[in-house]
């Protein structure tokens, strides 16, 4: 539910690259978030008695748990240098190295040496994250994984798929590489109709890719390239897909965490083929580096369960784009706010009427998981009969 609009300062174009003005905009962003959330401070300092899921009452303190954002906004939120990790202090020139966590102690220890913070830790000391004003919040822990932009569109489509094309050009030449890519597109286009598979009549030739298109391509791409690339590339794609599908599961136990770790280790081992063949000089890419933190994030916060930025993007359409289209463009912000208020009241009224049985729900209600059990599954307590079931055939 949208509850605030962030101010966007504007100026003449000559100030677009002005360092002082850029710092002002970033500081205003953090100050705005701190002002919006300041009412939550009380719940972070004074314990409140609440009934917990186990049925027991406990004295608890609230905190800020998660923040969904793409990488450019994560850089702004965490106050780090672009190209560095927002969750650890791994060097931008070697993101695969072991690294420690971001801590406020670093800024306190080296506050007099901004150059050292910038070069050695990727910390922009001009920016103090808004979470520094809250006792129970750490922006580096709050930043969530983003399956869509980090894994599906970032690591898979923008990196691995593009690297295959570059690999073919470097190994067989540009002319033959184009012929192979055309055949790969024909294989993708020849995917037979099947539930859960999307057809690509023209292969990968899209003017604009969506997240759903990238997800659908993941299901058919490995089979299409298997005959044309090195076995290590095939293994790297297979390990990457295993990692992706495992972290998207709704239930993850300790055994599955081991499988996720194993898939990630295999991916890091086999995708070195892109370095040995000259396609890449290194893998210092924040999107791929983020995969390192998935297991720890699952342990601390639970399964991602498909968590990605598309959740907030869909709300952006409802809260911003549609109200803007309904306005007459005069004092548009006040019109958008009024439209959202009216829609919220209508939704609240609709929910209340449905709850009292006055009107029917527009969507079927979800079944109670405690009532929908396995009582009707398995054998029926009745006499056995001999029977056959014939399915429809063409």
Q: pLDDT category, 4, cuts 50, 70, 90? A: confident
Cα–Cα distance between 341 and 319 in angstroms, integer? 10
Question: What is d(CA 129, CA 31) in angstroms, rounded to the nearest whole number?
Answer: 9
Specify whether 151 is located in the same domain as 296.
yes
Please indicate, yes or no, if residue 390 is contained in any of the structural domains.
no
Query: pTM to 2 decimals?
Result: 0.77
The encoded tokens of residue 347 equal: 């939704």
Contacts of 96 (CB under 8 A, 6+ apart): 90, 268, 283, 284, 289
Residues 237 and 182 in one domain: yes
Reported as a pLDDT band with limits 50, 70 and 90, residue 369 is very low
- pLDDT tens-digit profile of 178-226? 999 989 888 888 888 777 778 777 676 666 677 778 888 888 889 889 8
Q: Are 160 and 293 in the same domain?
A: yes
CA–CA dist 237, 222 (Å, integer) = 7
**Rounded distance, CA 111 to CA 6, Å?**
29
In a domain, 129, yes or no: yes
Q: Out of 96, 112, 143, pick the residue that ends a domain.
A: 143
The H-or-E segment that residue 48 falls in is strand 48-51
Whether residue 361 lies inside any domain: the answer is: no
pLDDT at 370 over 80: no
User: Does pLDDT of 371 surpass 50?
Assistant: no
Phi-psi region of 122 (alpha: psi -120 to 50; beta: other; left: phi over 0): left
Q: Are 292 and 98 in contact (CB under 8 A)?
A: no
Residue 210 in any domain: the answer is yes
Q: Of the candidates 143, 167, 186, which is a domain's last residue?
A: 143
Residue 380 domain-assigned (yes or no): no
* Chosen domain end from 88, 120, 143: 143
Residue 228 sits in the same domain as residue 99: no
* Per-residue pLDDT at 377: 43
Same-domain pairing of 175 and 49: no
Same domain, 296 and 169: yes
Mean pLDDT of 310-317: 74
Banded pLDDT at 392 (limits 50, 70, 90) = low
Per-residue pLDDT tens for 37-84? 888 888 888 888 988 888 899 998 888 888 888 888 899 998 888 888
- Residue 89: pLDDT band by 50, 70, 90 thresholds? confident
Higher pLDDT pick, 371 / 187: 187
CA–CA dist 167, 225 (Å, integer) = 12
Asked, for residue 377, whether it belongs to a domain, the answer is no
- pLDDT tens for each residue of 109-133: 666 666 777 777 777 777 888 888 8
Q: Which range among 98-102, 167-171, 201-205, 339-343 shows the weakest confidence by mean pLDDT?
A: 98-102
Which of the two residues, 300 and 276, has the higher pLDDT score? 276
294 shares a domain with 171:
yes
Using the predicted structure, report yes or no on whether residue 238 has a pLDDT greater than 90. Answer: yes
Residues 18 and 138 reside in one and the same domain: yes
Q: Are residues 229 and 340 in the same domain?
A: no
Confirm whether 203 is domain-assigned: yes
Distance between CA atoms of residues 76 and 115, nearest Å? 18
Nearest to 38 by CA among 77, 69, 4: 4
Residue 196 and residue 269 share a domain: yes
Judge if 117 and 230 occupy the same domain.
Answer: no
- The pLDDT value recorded for residue 167 is 93
Beta-bridge mates of residue 344: none
The total of structural domains in the chain comes to 3
Instruction: Indicate whether 226 belongs to any domain.
Output: yes
Domain with 289 in it? 147-301
Separation CA 214–CA 210 (nearest Å): 6
> In the structure, what pLDDT confidence band is assigned to residue 160 with cuts at 50, 70 and 90?
very high
d(CA 48, CA 57): 10
Q: Please give the pLDDT value at position 261.
A: 94
Q: What is the mean pLDDT of residues 142-161?
A: 87
Question: What's the mean per-residue pLDDT of the chain?
Answer: 82
Specify the pLDDT at position 380: 47
Beta bridge partners of residue 88, listed in sequence order: 101
SS3 55: coil
Residues 6+ apart with CB under 8 A from 44: 61, 62, 63, 134, 135, 136, 137
Residue 256 pLDDT level (bands cut at 50, 70, 90): very high
Q: Do residue 42 and residue 88 come from a single domain?
A: yes
């Amino acid at each position: 539910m949208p509850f605030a609009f962030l101010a966007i300062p504007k100026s003449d174009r000559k100030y677009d690259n002005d360092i002082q003005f850029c710092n002002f905009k970033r500081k205003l962003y953090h100050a705005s978030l701190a002002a919006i959330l300041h009412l939550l401070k009380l719940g972070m300092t004074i314990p409140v008695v609440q009934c917990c899921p186990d049925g027991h009452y406990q004295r608890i303190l609230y905190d800020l748990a998660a923040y969904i954002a793409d990488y450019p906004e994560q850089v702004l939120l965490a106050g780090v240098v672009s190209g560095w990790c927002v969750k650890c202090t791994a060097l931008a020139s070697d993101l695969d190295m072991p690294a420690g966590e971001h801590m406020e102690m670093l800024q306190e220890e080296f506050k007099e040496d901004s150059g050292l913070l910038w070069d050695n830790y990727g910390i922009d000391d001009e920016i103090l994250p808004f979470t520094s004003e809250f006792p129970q919040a750490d922006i580096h822990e709050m930043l969530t994984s983003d399956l869509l932009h980090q894994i599906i569109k970032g690591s898979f489509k923008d990196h691995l798929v593009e690297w295959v094309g570059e690999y073919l050009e470097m190994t067989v030449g540009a002319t033959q590489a184009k012929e192979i890519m055309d055949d790969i597109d024909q294989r993708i286009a020849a995917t037979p109709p099947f539930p859960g598979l999307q057809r690509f009549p023209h292969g990968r030739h899209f003017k604009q890719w969506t997240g759903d298109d990238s997800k659908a391509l993941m299901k058919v791409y490995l089979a299409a390239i298997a005959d044309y690339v090195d076995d290590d590339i095939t293994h790297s794609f297979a390990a990457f897909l295993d990692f992706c599908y495992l972290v998207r599961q709704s239930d993850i136990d300790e055994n599955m965490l081991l499988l996720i770790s194993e898939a990630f280790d295999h991916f890091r081992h086999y995708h070195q083929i892109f370095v040995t063949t000259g396609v890449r000089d290194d893998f210092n890419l924040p999107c791929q580096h983020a995969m390192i933190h998935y297991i720890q994030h699952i342990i601390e916060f639970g399964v991602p369960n498909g968590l990605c930025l598309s959740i907030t993007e869909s709300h952006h359409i409802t809260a911003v784009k549609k109200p803007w289209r309904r306005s007459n463009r005069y004092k548009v912000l006040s019109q958008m706010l009024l439209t959202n208020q009216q829609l919220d009241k209508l939704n609240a009224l609709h929910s209340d009427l449905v709850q009292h049985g006055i009107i029917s729900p527009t969507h079927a209600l979800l079944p109670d998981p405690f009532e929908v059990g396995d009582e009707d599954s398995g054998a029926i307590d009745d006499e056995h009969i001999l029977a056959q079931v014939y399915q429809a055939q063409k």
